[in-house]
């Protein structure tokens, strides 16, 4: 058995060399694509064998030749497909690199990986990396992109909260009410949710906050009450957990001359898909800002950045802790940058 390796620039070229030197009866043992160590140019290497000791019958020769030709067709076809895929990947990489040069910067790959692990959306991560070479740059880039309200919640006359069931609207009212009450401010809680469970919940909440609670079923009545009380009290309004939040559009024009913030509450621990579904169902033009609840239940914090950027709305506050919990927190919006970066900073 005679075994030999052959090299060339293409699969077809090497096969011609094998056929010329070892004849049509040569058997292909292996094929591989390699690179020259210095020039890095790629080449094809084929290991072929020929049995030069035994004589074969005419039929055996024909069968082996047919087998080799069939193998050549399969291997060559597969090789062509691989080369085609390599060309497409190269073209794609070149195109994306032109759009996002940071992809070609090895020093930024660690930052990119860090953001992806924190669930920042890939396209948003790439945009950040166009302006960041290190953690300090990244912190500034996130702060610049992250929209926040100019005033704190304590400076506002009141809030009306929207959001689907379970995101923490009523719990946010309790936390905000506790802080306002501790600062000796008068509070009024209003609920547009007429369900028995919700009414009982708001009554219990008002007792804890030692404040007045009103239950209203007509938006026009809400306007009258707020117009009368807004200069005397901080008003916190709860709305039904309507998945489509259809009430927001109706109240947008009705309350437009009142100094009250219309806030969409989102659960910080929800998935990106759930958050996008809320934004899709919500008329974001009907709200002024976003508040994130349940920050203590979130595993990563990139979604807060994603949803803030994609909604186009400023963040007003971030809350942690459950209803009735003494150690709850209501944090300023710039806390999100620290949560995403985990306090990472270069010395």
For residue range 266-295, list pLDDT tens digits in order.
Answer: 999 988 888 888 888 877 888 889 999 998
* Section 205-226 average pLDDT: 89
* Strands lying side by side in the sheet with 234-238: 212-215, 187-191, 234-238, 158-162, 261-267, 289-293, 315-320, 329-331
Tens of pLDDT, residue by residue over 146-176, are 888 888 888 888 999 998 888 889 889 999 9
> pTM (2 decimals)?
0.66
Neighbours of 233 (CB within 10 A): 19
Instruction: Give the pLDDT of residue 238.
Output: 92
- Rounded to an integer, what distance in angstroms lies between the CA atom of residue 104 and that of residue 110? 12
- The alpha-helical segments, DSSP class H, found in the chain are 11-22, 58-99, 109-117, 122-129, 135-145, 169-182, 196-209, 219-229, 247-254, 272-281, 302-311, 335-341
Residue 101 has pLDDT above 90, yes or no: no
DSSP 296: G
Give the pLDDT band of residue 345 (cuts 50, 70, 90): very low
**Who wins on pLDDT, 97 or 21?**
21
Tens of pLDDT, residue by residue over 22-63, are 887 777 777 777 777 666 677 788 888 887 654 455 555 556
Q: Which two tokens stand for residue 295?
A: 């920050």
Q: State whether residue 99 is helix, strand or coil.
A: helix
* Strands lying side by side in the sheet with 42-50: 2-8, 42-50, 27-35
- Rounded to an integer, what distance in angstroms lies between the CA atom of residue 303 and that of residue 301? 5
Give the pLDDT band of residue 347 (cuts 50, 70, 90): very low
Q: What is the mean pLDDT of the chain?
A: 80
Instruction: Give the pLDDT of residue 346.
Output: 39
């Amino acid at each position: 058995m005679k075994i030999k390796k052959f090299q060339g620039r293409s699969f077809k070229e090497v096969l011609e060399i094998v056929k010329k030197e070892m004849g049509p009866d040569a058997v292909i043992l292996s094929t591989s694509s390699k690179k020259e160590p210095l020039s890095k140019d790629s080449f094809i290497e084929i290991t072929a064998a020929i049995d030069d000791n035994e004589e074969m019958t005419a039929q055996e020769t024909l069968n082996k030749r047919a087998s080799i030709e069939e193998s050549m067709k399969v291997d060559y076809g597969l090789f062509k497909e691989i080369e085609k895929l390599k060309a497409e990947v190269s073209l794609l990489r070149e195109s994306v690199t032109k759009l996002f040069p940071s992809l070609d910067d090895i020093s930024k790959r660690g930052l990119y990986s860090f953001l992806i692990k924190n669930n920042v959306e890939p396209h948003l991560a790439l945009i950040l990396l166009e302006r960041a070479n290190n953690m300090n740059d990244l912190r500034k880039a996130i702060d610049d992109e992250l929209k926040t309200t100019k005033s704190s919640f304590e400076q506002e006359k009141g809030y009306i909260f929207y959001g689907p069931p379970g995101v923490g609207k009523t719990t946010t009212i309790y936390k905000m009410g506790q802080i306002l009450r501790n600062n000796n401010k008068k509070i009024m809680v209003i609920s547009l949710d007429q369900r028995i469970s919700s009414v009982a919940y708001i009554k219990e909440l008002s007792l804890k906050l030692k404040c007045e609670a009103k239950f209203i079923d007509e938006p026009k009545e809400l306007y009258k009450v707020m117009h009368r009380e807004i200069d005397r009290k901080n008003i916190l309004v709860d709305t039904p957990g309507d998945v489509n939040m259809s009430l927001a559009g109706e109240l947008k024009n009705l309350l437009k001359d009142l100094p009250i913030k219309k806030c969409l509450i989102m659960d910080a621990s929800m998935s990106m898909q759930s958050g996008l579904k809320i934004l899709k169902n919500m008329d974001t033009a009907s709200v002024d800002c976003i508040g994130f609840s349940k920050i203590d239940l979130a595993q990563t914090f990139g979604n807060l950045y994603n949803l803030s950027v994609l909604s186009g709305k400023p963040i007003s506050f971030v809350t942690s802790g459950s209803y009735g919990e003494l150690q709850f927190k209501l944090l300023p919006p710039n806390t999100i940058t620290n949560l995403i970066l985990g306090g990472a900073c270069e010395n």
